[in-house]
């Protein structure tokens, strides 16, 4: 049995079924329900909604693999899964282009004040001078994290006349036609735009903190399409208030379950939403129609290569 715990493209379900698998599709399943249903599963498909910890893995004695639609494995105890001979497969190749395009769209909207001016027209205001934009041509773009989505962002930027600096804590040797390798200090010093494309880990949690923002020299725009906890919200707000950055584009938040926000988190979100130089979208950067299908295709290809179904 293959248990699918998230919304997936029908192609994934149909392909599993054509191979003779019993598929249980429960996109709204709770953690407690998962503990019961996973007992018979040989395969488990997940996204970022549920934590796949030791308890879940122990509850599934027949489990052979865990398939993650998209990128980021922080909710899966991959180390423990390995001790149980459970393969963990992700599919970042499936939605990297969507993330790259979304990051570019947010950047262009911010620099050209597209969302701001459009909102003003809806209120009957026709304002031109205050909405004069900033061209990204000639600017320096810093990309922190040069994996699938970082490289995809660089690719969509390659058609613009920009300089690109890339930094990756785990990767070197990627400099080339589009991008030059740099360290974090150089990005903080030279970048006019800084975009985060890192997985969430102990090394990257609150990577953009008060110390980071204090090092910025060019008042850059900040983009985060990775994980909300990469950018410390309090530090970001302080940077906005103190003029250390020109603006921020956030597709992710530290707490994305709006119904569970604390009073402080509500105040912080209200502040951000009321800033003309802040753009927030609901974690949709890798959620395009094309990516919805591609993630399933990539996962299926990897499972076939490993002969897991």
Is the sign of the CA dihedral 146, 115, 275, 220 positive or negative?
positive
Do 24 and 111 lie in one domain? The reply is no
For residue range 258-305, list pLDDT tens digits in order. 999 999 999 999 999 999 999 999 999 999 999 999 999 999 999 999
Residues taking part in catalysis: 227, 256, 283
Unique residue bearing structure tokens 């180390």:
79
What is the model's pLDDT at position 177? 78
Contact (CB, 8 A) for 247 and 277: yes
pLDDT for the residue numbered 64: 97
Where does the pLDDT of residue 309 fall: very low under 50, low under 70, confident under 90, or very high at 90 and above?
confident
Assign residue 50 the CATH number of its domain: 3.40.50.720
Range of the domain at 32: 2-94+289-305
CA distances from 129 to 106, 107, 134 (A): 21, 20, 12
The rounded distance, in Å, linking the Cα atoms of 309 and 305 is 9
Q: Are residues 100 and 21 in the same domain?
A: no
User: Does residue 197 share a domain with residue 103?
Assistant: yes
91 vs 52: CA distance, rounded Å:
17
Q: Are strands 87-90 and 180-181 parallel, antiparallel or unpaired?
A: unpaired
Structure tokens at 198: 């890192």
CA distance 228 to 225: 8
pLDDT tens-place string over residues 131-143: 999 999 999 999 9
What's this model's pTM, rounded to 2 decimal places? 0.94
Span 207-233, pLDDT tens digits: 999 999 999 999 999 999 999 999 999
Residues 273 and 148 in one domain: yes
| 110 and 164 part of one domain | yes
Place of tokens 């149909």: 14
Same domain, 168 and 273: yes
Please check whether residues 82 and 101 belong to one and the same domain: no
Distance CA 277, CA 271 (A): 11
pLDDT of residue 176: 86
**Within this chain, do residues 129 and 255 fall inside the same structural domain, yes or no?**
yes
* Residues 79 and 161 grouped into a single domain: no
Q: Which residue has the tokens 């909102």?
A: 119
308 pLDDT more than 90: no
| Structural contact between residues 28 and 9, judged by C-beta atoms closer than 8 angstroms | no
Q: 308 near 106, Cβ under 8 Å? A: no
Do 299 and 269 share a structural domain?
Answer: no
Q: Which helix (H) or strand (E) holds 290?
A: helix 289-305
| DSSP 3-state of 114 | helix
CB 217 within 8 A of CB 193: no
Helix axes 148-157, 96-111, angle to 10 degrees: 50
**How far is it, in rounded angstroms, from Cα 181 to Cα 171?**
10
């Amino acid at each position: 049995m293959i248990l699918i715990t998230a919304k997936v493209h029908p192609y994934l379900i149909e392909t599993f079924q054509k191979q003779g698998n019993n598929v249980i599709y429960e996109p709204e399943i709770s953690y407690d329900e998962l503990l019961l249903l996973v007992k018979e599963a040989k395969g488990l498909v997940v996204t970022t909604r549920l934590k796949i910890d030791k308890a879940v893995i122990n509850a599934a004695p027949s489990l052979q693999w865990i398939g993650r639609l998209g990128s980021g494995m922080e909710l899966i105890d991959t180390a423990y899964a390995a001790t149980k001979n459970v393969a963990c497969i992700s599919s970042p190749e499936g939605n990297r282009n969507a993330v790259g395009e979304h990051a570019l769209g947010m950047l262009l909207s911010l620099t050209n004040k597209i969302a701001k001016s459009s909102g003003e027209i809806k209120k009957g205001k026709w304002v031109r001078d205050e909405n004069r934009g900033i061209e990204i041509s000639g600017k320096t773009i810093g990309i922190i994290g040069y994996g699938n989505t970082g490289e995809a962002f660089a690719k969509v930027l390659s058609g613009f006349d920009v300089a690109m600096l890339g930094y990756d804590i785990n990767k070197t040797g990627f400099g080339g036609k589009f991008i030059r390798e740099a360290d974090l200090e150089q990005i903080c010093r030279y970048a006019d735009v800084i975009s985060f494309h890192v997985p969430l880990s102990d090394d990257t949690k609150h990577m953009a903190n008060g110390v980071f923002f204090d090092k910025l020299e060019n008042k850059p725009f900040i983009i985060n399409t990775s994980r909300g906890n990469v950018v410390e919200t309090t530090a970001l707000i302080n940077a906005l208030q103190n003029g250390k950055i020109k603006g921020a584009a956030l597709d992710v938040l530290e707490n994305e379950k709006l119904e569970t926000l604390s009073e402080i988190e509500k105040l912080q979100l209200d502040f951000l939403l009321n800033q003309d130089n802040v753009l927030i979208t609901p974690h949709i950067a890798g959620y395009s129609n094309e990516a919805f299908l591609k993630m399933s295709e990539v996962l299926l290809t990897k499972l076939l290569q490993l002969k897991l179904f």
